[in-house]
Amino acid sequence: MVSVNSSCKRMTIVALVIMAILSFVNPVIGDNIGAFQKIDPNKIPDVLAMLAATTYENYEKIKTLKGQVSFGDMIIYRGVYAADRLKQNAGITIKEPNELADISEGVSEFKMDLKKNILFKNVKWPNPDNFIDFNSNAIYPSLSGAKERTNIITNEYELESYPYTMEKDGTVLSRIAEKRKLNKSGIIKDESDPRICFAIGRPVWELLSQFSDGLRNYYRGDVNVFYDVVLEKKQTAKGSSYRVQLKNPGATQPFEVFVLDGEKGFNPTYIEVINDNGVKISEITTDFNEINGIFLPIQRQVLQYDGNSGLLRRQSDSTFRDLQVNISFPENTFSINNLGLKNGEKFVDKIAGKEYKYQDANLVPIAEPNNLPEPNNPSK
């Protein structure tokens, strides 16, 4: 348990938890935008197509992107899950707490080539996770300590480098790297990737185009049933904003709502997802800034709720800094030589089933692969 000497840190963590709980009191959708007026249904396909083209044009301007993301994550466990989590990760056995918050903080530095669809990122969690028992206000640090990992992600595979052996204070003694096949290809959806802010399960322009085309087909009679799409517009002195509500046919409530802010390049600044029982299960709020004529995210908050009770179960906050667009990267940015390996450290190709030794910026095959013990990998 954390001692009295850690009171300052404890107050910071408790304040974060209180802020998260207060955020459970959610505003009415779009209150920050103002009153919306419904658009004539016959005009909706054209407006959706315009919004899709605008957001896609913003994305197409981005060739390369570099930046840093500071993030904090809080996951709330309740009942038996809370006790199990605390025992497994902090080694503490106590009477079952009603609520337990698992809080982590870290920094991710990333470089992306969007035309080649390749991502480099280095993520560090400098401090162990902290667990807060809401019953007693006690704080328990995770046993895992500091964490770190480096990833290079392409369409076909992922490279990951992480500490293989570490000192108790978090000092890395040796590293190991792996190459793994990706299950899916396409746009890389990673939490270090600002494009995830544009996405509603997939890029927003694709979704808007789908609904624009679907409504046209429905109005022409080419399809008998389609989603109900309600589109509203708010005009201000600075421009216009739109609110989109998507409903299943015959439903009385939307399953998804999002706001496209004209001052932010019609990027989705608010997204809300509702389940079939009418319970909000997620809410994403994103602020964007214009850099060299391109709108990029600068703040993002993700709230997730229990689908039955509606109680908050996760809050994630991200701040994007030092964003640089369309710059050149060093040649080895997306190569194995940028994984932080030192001479003699292992590289395991899980696709080919082979092992190598990293030596002088090259991979030297190991004739008879060793049966490596499972490493203590705190990054997983």
**pLDDT tops 90 at residue 203:** no
309-325: average pLDDT: 95
Comparing 9 with 77, the larger pLDDT belongs to 77
Comparing 89 with 170, the larger pLDDT belongs to 89
**pLDDT tops 90 at residue 236:** no
309 CB-near residues (< 8 Å, 6+ apart): none
Rounded to a whole number of angstroms, the CA Rg of the chain reads 24
User: How many residues are listed for the chain in this entry?
Assistant: 380
What's the DSSP call for residue 203? B
What's the DSSP call for residue 205? H
Q: In the predicted model, what is the mean pLDDT of the chain? A: 85
**pLDDT tops 90 at residue 244:** yes
pLDDT digits (tens, 9 = 90+) for 114-148: 888 899 999 999 988 999 988 888 999 988 878 89
Question: How far apart are alpha carbons 20 and 301 in whole angstroms?
Answer: 11
116 CB-near residues (< 8 Å, 6+ apart): 154
- C-alpha torsion 242→202→77→140, nearest 10: -100
Q: Which helix (DSSP H) or strand (DSSP E) does residue 86 occupy?
A: helix 80-90
pLDDT for position 368: 58
Asked whether residue 376 is domain-assigned, the answer is: no
Q: What percent of the chain has pLDDT over 70?
A: 85
Question: How far apart are alpha carbons 159 and 181 in whole angstroms?
Answer: 9
Domain count, the chain: 1
- C-alpha torsion 200→202→203→205, nearest 10: -80
pTM score, whole prediction = 0.82
pLDDT for position 188: 65
Asked whether residue 373 is domain-assigned, the answer is: no
CA 258 from centroid of its chain's CA atoms:
18
Highest mean pLDDT among 95-104, 141-150, 212-221: 212-221
Show the domain range for 361.
4-365
Angle, helices 44-60/204-220, rounded to nearest 10 degrees: 160
pLDDT digits (tens, 9 = 90+) for 169-181: 667 889 999 999 9
pLDDT digits (tens, 9 = 90+) for 271-291: 999 999 999 999 999 999 999
Helix spans in 198-309 (H): 204-220
Amino acid at 38: K
Asked whether residue 371 is domain-assigned, the answer is: no
Question: How far apart are alpha carbons 25 and 83 in whole angstroms?
Answer: 27
Nearest one of 290, 284, 251, 248 to 268, comparing CA atoms: 284
Asked whether residue 34 is domain-assigned, the answer is: yes
Question: How far apart are alpha carbons 345 and 173 in whole angstroms?
Answer: 11
Other CB atoms within a 10 A radius of the CB of residue 61 amount to: 13
pLDDT classification of 20: cutoffs 50, 70, 90: very low
- C-alpha torsion 30→34→39→45, nearest 10: -50
Distances (CA, A) of 319 to 82, 119, 165, 287: 28, 19, 31, 10
Asked whether residue 370 is domain-assigned, the answer is: no
226-230: average pLDDT: 94
Asked whether residue 374 is domain-assigned, the answer is: no
Asked whether residue 191 is domain-assigned, the answer is: yes
pLDDT for position 34: 58
The token pair that represents 309 in the structure block: 């009770």
Asked whether residue 261 is domain-assigned, the answer is: yes
**pLDDT tops 80 at residue 81:** yes
103 CB-near residues (< 8 Å, 6+ apart): 13, 16, 17, 72, 73, 74, 129, 130, 131, 132
